[in-house]
Amino acid sequence: MNAEEIMEQKLANNPSVVFYDSVCVMCDSFIQFLIKIDKDRILRFSSLQSDLWEKTKKDFDKKWPEGGTVVFWNNGKWYSESDAVLQIFQVVGKYKVWVWVLRIIPVFFRNLMYRWIARNRYKVFGKKNSCEWVPADKRYLFLDNTKE
């Protein structure tokens, strides 16, 4: 099995994958928070700096948001920006009232706020040189080989 086939199989076998900016301190904290609240271990994670993301984004005819920090693949459907965050919480089954309330706000306005946060995330929270070390008992949650 070649590398492309392995990556395709990873997506097919994992119906809920969160792609995130692994050098962003805020994004890494968000992923650590998701690991804590996802008691049923529904979510899997992959870096936007990974080979898996590079291959995946080329295979789908979609314009990806510039500077986005989270993209979510859930049961064959893509979510980005504020929709990705809300869908992640819906899938995990947490903060249902907040998800419902925030979905009332038009996507245009939610994404304006999301983009503002995404644009300023390095200034406010900082940037790392590498991915956070993952404990051995959580490594199965991460699908990627991060590109050097």
In the predicted structure, residue 139 carries a pLDDT above the cut 70: yes
Average pLDDT estimate for 87-106: 93
Q: Tell me the fold of 3-60+67-126.
A: Glutaredoxin (3.40.30)
pLDDT band at 48 (very low <50, low <70, confident <90, very high): confident
Rounded CA separation 9/55 (Å): 12
> Rounded mean pLDDT of 18-26?
88
Q: What is the pTM of this model?
A: 0.84
Mean pLDDT score, 7-30: 80
Over residues 48-69, the mean pLDDT reads 72
- Overall average pLDDT of the 99-105 stretch: 94
The answer to whether residue 95 scores a pLDDT higher than 80 is yes
The Cα angle at residue 98 between residues 97 and 99, in degrees rounded to 5 = 90
Q: Which residue has the tokens 């947490």?
A: 94
146 Cβ neighbours under 8 A, 6+ residues apart: 22, 47, 49, 50, 131
Give the pLDDT score at 64.
Answer: 67
Domain limits, the chain: 3-60+67-126
